[in-house]
Structure formats: structure tokens, C-alpha cells
Chains A and B, each alone.
Chain A
Amino acid sequence: MNHEPLLLATPSGDALNLRPEGPWTAANVVTLETLSRSVGADVDRSRVVTLDMSGVSALDTLGAWVLEKLSRRAATSGRSAEFVGVADHFSGLLDEVRQVNRHTPAPTAAPNPVLARLGDLGKSTADAREDVTIFLQMLGALFMAVIGVLRRPRSLRLTSLVYQLYRIGWQAIPIVALITFLIGAIIAQQGFFHFRRFGAESYTVDMVGILVLRELGVLIVAIMVAGRSGSAYTAELGSMKMREEIDALSTMGLDPVEILILPRVAALVIALPILTFIGSVAALYGGGLVAQFYGDMGPAIYIARLHEAISVTHFEVGILKAPFMALVIGIVACSEGLRVKGSAESLGRQTTTSVVKSIFLVIVLDGLFAIFFASIGM
């Protein structure tokens, strides 16, 4: 028995007799490709090619196709090729293979790179416009849902709202407090380290207080919530979309915005200011600890300096931004979730998009607020 496939070529004048032997199967594909290449020139020279199949011990689709390809190569431009000595149990497979790969689709021409680049640019511009439209649509739908709830307070999904508050508010407290605590401590350390050179250490407290209350507290918390809860919203709504749950809701005459999205966004709008407050306190506490152990400033002095340096205005500026940031995060997360299409890949892509987009918008919004508060003198 042969364990290696062979291909014997016996030319006689114009004719060529090819005799494949042994197992012509996928396991020997390397040998098969070499063999079929090696007889290629002979096949092109001959007018009549006979493939004597009687020596083949095993045949599968791959082997049959390699042979069929040889016979097709031989049968071009008025020349001929035929299979002889085909065993009964191989004939079905050979017949099957003879039918395939007859209509190779014309290869699509590679697009002009300049045009392709321009096309991409145009497409992303159109996409950006669509993003704005979707954002505004979602804002409008939420507004209508709020009006609906105000008209019929019983239609508020209280259970869902409380559950979402627990998930994105209560359960987020430890990590939010830890991170803002560390950020506060790091800022205070940097302040003491650099201000010490001009003997302005006591101003570190002003810096920590203003920075944390006005900007950093809310920004860090919003970014963390976008990563933690925004992505969860997108993934949840996306998989509901994939499993047609949202379609099921709509066909029952219920509004998915009111049932699924409003409680989620409302929970964010309520939770983010609270988390910001907790985060700011944790950051000030972190700063205080550094002041005591690194800056040689006791708690009493730290608190007294803090009292002088900051006012309620600073706190208001920070906390006022929180609900708006929550709204942006919620809307982006939910609308990206609804844009998920059938595949798992699309779910992953939308979740990434949701997080990137909401962090970007949170920072842009923070910039706009900075201009706004500066111009009204807060």
C-alpha cells in the first residue's frame, strides 16, 4: 500500500498519460500541490491528456479538485482531457467537483486610493451629522418620556429606577472614592513639592480645593461613570436589541425609551452629583492626609486654610455640571446601545464607541462650562 501520493507522467507523442497513485487527500496537500505543479508544463504541451485513476487509494474533495484542475488546464483551446479507470466510489465525488468553480466572479477592481480617502472623509462627515441627529432625537424622546411621566406619575418605572441607582450609584461609591482620594493626594503632593521652592506651600491648599471642587472632582467621576456605567448600558441595551427584546416591547405598544432608557438616564442624572460630592470630599481628604504627612501641615490648619480659600461658589460650579454630564453620558450610552446590529462584533464596537464618545463629550462640555462660568463671573 502507498502512503505517499505519487503522480506518474508518461508522455507519448502528443498525448500524456497521468497516473495519480496513493492517497490523494487533504492530509498530503503539500505533496499534492508540488506534484500538480511539476507536471504543469507537460500538461500544457500535450494535446490529449488521460488521467488514469486506477491507482488512487483514497480521494477527498481536495485531492479531487487538484486533479480536476489539471484536467481543466489540459482541456483548454481545443485540447482534451479525460478521466479513466475511476472507481465507483470516487465517481460521485469527481462528478460533484466537476460542477464547481465554473463561474469565477470578476475580481473587483481596487478603488483609486485618493478617491477612497475622499470617500471615507465624506462618509465620516455624514456619520458625524447622523450622530448629532441621533443625539438630538434621543434627547427629544427622553423629554417626551419625562412629560409622559409627569402626566401619569404611575408610569414611572420606580423599581427599575431604584435598581439602576443602586447599581450605578451605590455600587460605584468605593471605587469612585478610592480613585478621587488618590488623585487629591497626588495633587497635594505635587503642590507641596513644587510650591516649596518659592515658600508658597500654604497655597497648595487653595490649589487643591479649587481644582478639586471646580474641575477635577466632577471630571474624574464623570469619566469613571462613563467607563463603568455607560459601557454597561450600551452592552445591556445592545444585547436586548440583538435578542429582539426591544422589538418585543415596541410591538406590545410600549415605549422602550420610557421603560428602558428613562430609568437609566434618570438614575445617572441623580447619581452623578452624589458621586461627585463623595468624590470631592474624598479628594479633599486625600489632600489633607498628604498635607499632614508630607507637607507638615496639621488638620486644623488645613481646614482653616481650606475655609479661607474656597467658597460655596466653587462647590456649586462643580456640582452644577454633574447632571448635564450625566445626561450626555446616558444619552450617548443608550443611543449607541440601540445602534447595535445582529453580530457580537457590532456589540463590542458600539460599546467602545459609546465610552470614547461620552468621555470626549464630557470633556468638551467641561470646556464649554468653563467659558460659561468665567463669563458670568462664577
Chain B
Amino acid sequence: MDVSQDEFAIRVRDLVVGFGRQTVLDHLSLDVRRGEILGLVGASGGGKSVLMRTIIGLIPRQGGTIEVMGQPTGGHGRGAATTWGILFQQGALFSSLAVRQNVQFPLRENLVLSQELMDEIAIAKLEMVGLRAQDADKYPAELSGGMTKRVALARALALDPPILFLDEPTSGLDPIAAGDFDALITTLQKTLGLTVFMVTHDLASLTTVCDRVAALADGKIVAIGPMRELLQSEHPWVRAYFHGKRSQMLQHEMR
């Protein structure tokens, strides 16, 4: 094992992604270290979700390389669920399956294990994300927004993947639920030793949860580092993002 493989969970080099004549990501490079929580910020429609979806193989790339856990990615074959778990913005729970079956789905598809153990693991995951065993027999249509996100997180974590992708995990949650969710992600990241790649607009999450923050502007990563360093950044877009009225207010209150 060489050193780089040990150190980085995701390595993106010179990534180019575009749709038609429009280039969204322009020779973008990004490293995500193992065991860190990386927050990605950027303008709405600026390519944050495109970057995430390209890394997980949902969008074809026009150039560049992506390595996940030292392996170059090429599409998403079977067993992808053991490499990464993905929390989609709307949860993307399978609406025809109950909560329990949603969480069991990756287990059932990837492993051979008894129904009893599968049930226990599903309940264990649900309790780890702060739901009760009674919720296991509900259907996605019966869940609130916060519960949907928790179930989706439980499903993403079903196989204990080393990498977790979160697409705006706290959007649509009230501040209490969002705070709980942040705490949950921190706890799980510590206990399971996860690498977390998080796309978010939530300044509170960025400050409290993320080890490092990357700023995406004009199709490139223009600044990356701990929140403290990003606040010092001279890049005009980053300044506007973190020193706008809303951001200033939040930061003042946090001090």
C-alpha cells in the first residue's frame, strides 16, 4: 500500500463535466482525506450536486480521473453499496417498501444472511440514527421530512461503507432537527470511522460539523481548508458567501 492510498478516500484530478456546450466543472481537482468530514459549498446551480453525482458515477465525465479508496471509478457495478452510502436530497426511499425493508435492501442484495439477523441489523441501524423500532413498519409516504432523512441515512449506512455522501442533509429540516442531524453525523462518523462528503448550504453545519470546507466557484475549487481559513480567503465569491449579511449574523451569534 502506498501512502497516497492510505491518506485519501477520494481523489479527483482535472475533472471536466459539461452538458451540451455548457461546461459545469472545468478541470476541477479535489482530495478528500480518510476519516474527515468535508463540506462542499457553492452557488445554487454551480455544480455542487453535479460534482457529487459525477464522483458516484451518475453523470458521465468528459475528462479527468476519479479515484475512490485508491480504485479508479468506472460506473457503479454491483457492490457499490459496500464502498459508499449516499443520502439523496429527498431521501430517495423506495416507496413500495416499508422502512425496515428499505434499510434491509442493501443487505439483502449484497450478503447472504438469515432473516432474523437482517431484522436485528435493520432495527439496530434505525436506532443508531435515532428512530424507534416501532417506525420500522411504516411506509415512506407516512414519514415526516426529518424521519425520511434519518431512514435514508440508515439505509446509506446499512453495509457500513467507508464513505458517506450527503446531499444537503439538513435542507428542509427545522433548526432543532438540523442540529440533531449534525450531531448524529458527527457521532456516526466517529464511531464508524467514516469519510463524509457533504454538499450543504447550511452555515451552521459547516461551522460545527465539517473538518474542512471546499468552495466551488466557476467550475473549480477556489478555496479549501478549515472554516477559519476560508473566512480569511480573499477570493471574491468566497468573501461574498461567508461575509454576506446572513453569514455575518450567524457568525456573530456563534461567537
Tell me, yes or no, whether B114 is within 8 Å of chain A by CB.
yes
Contacting residue for B191 out of A25, A30, A33, A92, CB 8 A: A92
| Bound Cα distance A25, B159 (Å) | 9
| Bound Cα distance A171, B157 (Å) | 49
Query: Inside 8 A of B96's CB, which chain A residues have their CB?
Result: 343, 345
Closest chain A residue, CB of each to CB of B113: A29
Contact assessment for B192 and A60 in the assembled complex, using a CB-CB cutoff below 8 Å: yes
Contact assessment for B95 and A25 in the assembled complex, using a CB-CB cutoff below 8 Å: no
Query: Inside 8 A of A62's CB, which chain B residues have their CB?
Result: 117, 121, 160
Contact assessment for B133 and A104 in the assembled complex, using a CB-CB cutoff below 8 Å: yes
Nearest CB of B to A244, in Å? 14
Contact assessment for B124 and A33 in the assembled complex, using a CB-CB cutoff below 8 Å: no
Nearest CB of B to A320, in Å? 43
Query: Inside 8 A of B127's CB, which chain A residues have their CB?
Result: 99-101
Contact assessment for A101 and B112 in the assembled complex, using a CB-CB cutoff below 8 Å: no
Nearest CB of B to A349, in Å? 10
Contact assessment for B114 and A33 in the assembled complex, using a CB-CB cutoff below 8 Å: yes
Given A61-B124, A100-B128, CB of A27 within 8 Å of CB of B82: yes
A16-46 interface code vs B (CB 8 A; 1 in, 0 out): 0000000001110110010000000000000
B101-117 interface code vs A (CB 8 A; 1 in, 0 out): 00000010011111001
Nearest CB of B to A242, in Å? 10
Interface SS majority for chain B: helix
| Bound Cα distance A96, B188 (Å) | 9
Query: Inside 8 A of B190's CB, which chain A residues have their CB?
Result: 92
Contacting residue for B128 out of A96, A104, A343, CB 8 A: A96
Tell me, yes or no, whether B229 is within 8 Å of chain A by CB.
no
Contact assessment for A93 and B191 in the assembled complex, using a CB-CB cutoff below 8 Å: yes
Closest chain A residue, CB of each to CB of B193: A89
Interface SS majority for chain A: helix
Contact assessment for A105 and B120 in the assembled complex, using a CB-CB cutoff below 8 Å: no
B81-103 interface code vs A (CB 8 A; 1 in, 0 out): 01000000000000110000000
Interface residues of A in 90-110 (CB under 8 A from B): 92-93, 95-97, 99-101, 103-105
Tell me, yes or no, whether A160 is within 8 Å of chain B by CB.
no
Nearest CB of A to B199, in Å? 23
Tell me, yes or no, whether A57 is within 8 Å of chain B by CB.
no
| Bound Cα distance A25, B107 (Å) | 12
Given A27-B82, A33-B114, A61-B160, CB of A346 within 8 Å of CB of B120: no
Contact assessment for A101 and B128 in the assembled complex, using a CB-CB cutoff below 8 Å: no
Given A343-B139, A346-B141, CB of A65 within 8 Å of CB of B112: no
Tell me, yes or no, whether A66 is within 8 Å of chain B by CB.
yes
Among A29, A65, A95, which residue has the most Cβ atoms of chain B within 10 A?
A: A29
Contact assessment for B123 and A101 in the assembled complex, using a CB-CB cutoff below 8 Å: yes
Query: Inside 8 A of B128's CB, which chain A residues have their CB?
Result: 61, 96, 100
Given A66-B117, A92-B191, CB of A341 within 8 Å of CB of B124: no
Tell me, yes or no, whether B134 is within 8 Å of chain A by CB.
yes
Contact assessment for B133 and A69 in the assembled complex, using a CB-CB cutoff below 8 Å: no
Given A30-B112, A30-B113, A105-B133, CB of A60 within 8 Å of CB of B191: no
Nearest CB of A to B179, in Å? 20
Nearest CB of A to B195, in Å? 15
Tell me, yes or no, whether B140 is within 8 Å of chain A by CB.
yes
Interface residues of A in 54-113 (CB under 8 A from B): 60-62, 65-66, 69, 89, 92-93, 95-97, 99-101, 103-105
Contacting residue for A343 out of B117, B120, B132, B141, CB 8 A: B141
| Bound Cα distance A33, B113 (Å) | 8
| Bound Cα distance A62, B125 (Å) | 10
Task: List 23 interface pairs A-B (beta carbons < 8 Å), by A numbering.
Answer: A29-B112, A29-B113, A30-B111, A30-B112, A30-B113, A62-B160, A65-B117, A65-B120, A66-B117, A92-B191, A96-B187, A97-B124, A100-B123, A101-B120, A101-B124, A104-B123, A105-B134, A341-B141, A343-B96, A343-B139, A343-B141, A345-B95, A346-B141
Binding site for B on A (CB under 8 A): 25-27, 29-30, 33, 60-62, 65-66, 69, 89, 92-93, 95-97, 99-101, 103-105, 341-346
